[in-house]
Chain A
Amino acid sequence: MSDWVEACDAEDIDEEDVMRFDHGGRTFAIYRSPDDEYFATDGLCSHEKVHLADGLVMDDIIECPKHNGRFNYKTGAARGAPVCVNLRTYPVKLDAGKVLIQIG
């Protein structure tokens, strides 16, 4: 499994923020946590296929912009109505100031 893909520069994302990343017809959301770690999940909300990157990051939660469904972006776990289906998460690593994600 060497399908690591370069998504962006580490500095492209503010702390406690999120960015959209499209690759190979798929869309992902890449997060930088308040303690400066990087994470990646599916890019679309599991409620109505809305881009999560327009949402708000608070601690380890991403809140969907459309109806405020919440997910823990570190684990992908759905955290309350209206979302009930978890997000898939993807491994992330930093290399020479770049954010790489492994999309399996």
Chain B
Amino acid sequence: MTKAMIIIGAGECGGRAALALRDLGFEGPVTLVGDEPHLPYERPPLSKEAMTGEAPVIKAITSDEILAERSIRHIHSVQAVAIDRAAHAVRLSDGSALPYDKLLLATGSLPRKLPMPGLGARCVYLRTYNDAQAIRAHLRAGNRVAIVGGGFIGLELAASARKLGADVTVVEAQPRILMRGVPAEIAEIIHKQHEAEGVTILAGQGISAIADDGAEVRITLAGGLEVVADLAIIGIGAVPVTTLAAEAGLSIDNGIAVDAELRTGDPDIFAAGDCCSFPLAVYGGRRVRLEAWRNAQEQGALAARNMLGAGEAHAAVPWFWSDQYGLTLQIAGLSDEGHSVVRRDLEDGAFILFHLAGDGRLVAASGIGPGNAVARDIRLAEMLIAKRATPAPEALGSQTVKLKSLLAA
């Protein structure tokens, strides 16, 4: 009997999973259901290149031709509204029902809403291509843009808005930008770069009130300072999309909870990408949820293998990048696992911080520099982390010792 595979969520993860099922030779029906009107596309450009071009360009990860050729049915603009686990069927917003043998939830995440009154038409969030189009229309010389939240998406947007000549103010409640997951030394480089480019950063000040009259947004900070903008973009993190899973009785723990094979409590239902929390093997099975592009790809592919019965455990090291102006930041591993830090300087002012655990194990590496200056060493560090290596701190800190040589050791 041929099995039917259904994937809910046609984003990075769902799209990759559908293609992976075919790459693996699966010949039964594959259906990809997404509530956006587009083909699966890349989100990272939405705060970067897509914002600075004439009009945002959508960067699809596949095409209608490829989907047709590979017999992948893509149902777009339709939401999955319920999972009937007993009947093994998914109910869709157009009233139809799709039977499944294995189901993958790749529902992603959505921007965290700012929980306060006063927000209106000039207060926006960025997650989708349609959001990007709406924001892009406001980014031009002379326009005042307030960014609420000094996280990656907010800061990338700040850089893009500056490139287009807008006046930009970033408001961050925490004492500094990039509080979560980025070492202070690196956040400071990024902070200075933004200031050099003319961005005003107001950190350590919560918002006490927002007033949006449809033409202008007035943001009052706890200290009394007022920021007035033509557009406020709110980037204060993301929350996993879990309603469908929760209503089907699946367990939720900071995301749809899955095991190392990305399986939920129901053996026929998997979850992957931004929407799931899973045990991270490199850190002894600590449960995490990642909001990262490569993770979405890797987990999409892993879920596909496991839907076909591979029984393979997740083993990858988290990896993330961000581009702002000419600077690129890359992080392998989670730096909060580290107890001590070793710095390695590279050319052109680039550097890498290696984070070591108490037992000497390399657990993370964060690097920043112009262009791709840190890429190679971060990639090697990632391999060292995966090997659970305990490299000598002196070797990590010395530019003359090649990281590749540590890998062979």
Partner-B contacts on A (CB < 8 A): 16, 50-51, 54-56, 63, 65-68, 81-82
**B interface residues, how many (CB within 8 angstroms):** 17
Q: What chain B residues lie within 8 Å of A56 (beta carbons)?
A: 375-376, 379-380
Q: Is B325 an interface residue (CB 8 A)?
A: no
Q: What chain A residues lie within 8 Å of B376 (beta carbons)?
A: 54-56, 65
Interface code B370-386, partner A: CB below 8 Å = 1, 0 otherwise?
Answer: 01110110011000000
B324 to A: closest C-beta gap in Å? 14
Complex formed: what's the CA distance from A36 to B131 in Å?
51
Q: What chain A residues lie within 8 Å of B380 (beta carbons)?
A: 56
Are the C-beta atoms of B42 and A82 separated by less than 8 Å? yes
Judged by DSSP, the binding face of A is loop
Q: What chain B residues lie within 8 Å of A65 (beta carbons)?
A: 372, 375-376, 379
Q: What chain B residues lie within 8 Å of A16 (beta carbons)?
A: 404
Complex formed: what's the CA distance from A76 to B265 in Å?
43
Specify the chain A residue showing the minimal Cβ separation from B23. Answer: A80
Pick from A66, A68, A81 the residue with the most CB of B within 10 Å. Answer: A81
Are the C-beta atoms of A63 and B379 separated by less than 8 Å? yes
Partner-A contacts on B (CB < 8 A): 16, 42, 61, 293-294, 297, 301, 319, 321, 371-373, 375-376, 379-380, 404
Q: What chain A residues lie within 8 Å of B372 (beta carbons)?
A: 50-51, 54-55, 65-66
Are the C-beta atoms of B16 and A66 separated by less than 8 Å? no
Select B61's contact among A51, A55, A63, A82, beta carbons within 8 Å: A82
Select A54's contact among B42, B293, B294, B371, beta carbons within 8 Å: B371
B385 to A: closest C-beta gap in Å? 15
Are the C-beta atoms of A55 and B297 separated by less than 8 Å? no
| Inter-chain pairs besides A54-B375, A55-B375, 12 sampled, C-beta below 8 Å | A54-B372, A54-B373, A54-B376, A55-B372, A65-B372, A66-B321, A67-B293, A67-B294, A68-B379, A81-B297, A82-B61, A82-B297
Complex formed: what's the CA distance from A81 to B16 in Å?
8
Q: What chain B residues lie within 8 Å of A68 (beta carbons)?
A: 294, 319, 379
Complex formed: what's the CA distance from A24 to B42 in Å?
33
Query: Which 4 A/B pairs are nearest by Cβ-Cβ distance?
Result: A65-B375, A65-B372, A54-B372, A56-B379
Pick from B42, B61, B293, B379 the residue with the most CB of A within 10 Å. Answer: B379
Q: What chain A residues lie within 8 Å of B294 (beta carbons)?
A: 67-68
Complex formed: what's the CA distance from A102 to B293 in Å?
37
Q: What chain B residues lie within 8 Å of A82 (beta carbons)?
A: 42, 61, 297
Specify the chain A residue showing the minimal Cβ separation from B300. Answer: A81
B40 to A: closest C-beta gap in Å? 11
B347 to A: closest C-beta gap in Å? 11
Specify the chain A residue showing the minimal Cβ separation from B377. Answer: A56
Specify the chain A residue showing the minimal Cβ separation from B19. Answer: A81
Q: What chain A residues lie within 8 Å of B371 (beta carbons)?
A: 54
Q: What chain A residues lie within 8 Å of B375 (beta carbons)?
A: 54-56, 65-66
Specify the chain A residue showing the minimal Cβ separation from B297. Answer: A81
Q: What chain B residues lie within 8 Å of A51 (beta carbons)?
A: 372
Q: What chain A residues lie within 8 Å of B301 (beta carbons)?
A: 81
Pick from A51, A63, A65, A66 the residue with the most CB of B within 10 Å. Answer: A65
Specify the chain B residue showing the minimal Cβ separation from A18. Answer: B376
